[in-house]
Amino acid sequence: MPKMVLAGIEIEVDEDGFIQDPEKWNEEVAKALAETEGVTELTEDHWKVINYLRQYYQQFGIAPMIRKLCKETGFSLKQIYDLFPSGPAKGACKIAGLPKPTGCV
């Protein structure tokens, strides 16, 4: 498994750059991950999405449905793509420190 230095910490990541140990995630790591996704600044709107993803993941062990993510954060899917250009799965989940979503999503 490759390793990356994110916010001064050495963290294992998969081939797509998703961190492997959710425990190592913190806000600084999120900022460093955001840069790998071409998101230069994490605004309040970004954090709203990130925090919801993390909260849902901690409760259920999986990323939430996209429809639920939109409903709970009040953003349309297009707005989420505007915030996270790689989309909710590859972009937002990565920055939130979740594992890469699998299956046909």
Partner 1 sequence: MRKVFDDYRALSDEMLRSNEVRVPHFLDAMKKSLDRRSNWTFWLPYVLSLDVCMKCGTCAEVCPVYISSGRKEIYHPAVRSELIRKVYRRYFTWPGRLFPGLVGAEDLTEDKLDALAESIYRCTVCRRCAYVCPLAIDNGLIVREARKIFDAIGIAPDELKEKGTRKQLEMGNATGTPTAAFLDIIEFLEEEIEDQRGYKIKIPVDKKGAEYLVMHNAGDYLAFAETVMGAAEIFHAAGVDWTLNSPDTGINDAVNYGVFFSDIEFTEVLKAQIKTIVNLGVKTLVVGECGHAFEAFKYLMLRLIPPSERPFEVKSILELIDEWIREGRIKVDPEKNPEPVTYHDSCKLGRLGGLYEEPRRILKACCKDFREMEPNREMSYCCGGGSGFAIMTKGDFLKFRMETYGKIKAEQLKATGASIVALACSNCKGQFREIINYYKLPLRFAGISELVANALVR
State the residues that interact with partner 1 by CB under 8 A.
Answer: 15-16, 60-68, 71, 81, 87, 89-90, 100-105
Shortest Cβ 8–partner 1 spacing (Å): 26
Cα 15 to its chain centre, rounded Å, is 15
When the beta carbons of 28 and 68 are compared against partner 1, the nearer one is 68
Whether residue 70 lies in the annotated active site:
no
When the beta carbons of 44 and 67 are compared against partner 1, the nearer one is 67
Q: What is the spatial distance between Cα 91 and Cα 84, in angstroms, rounded to a whole number?
A: 5
Q: Which long-range contacts (CB under 8 A, 24 or more apart) does 77-81 make?
A: 79/45, 80/49
The catalytic site residues sit at 104
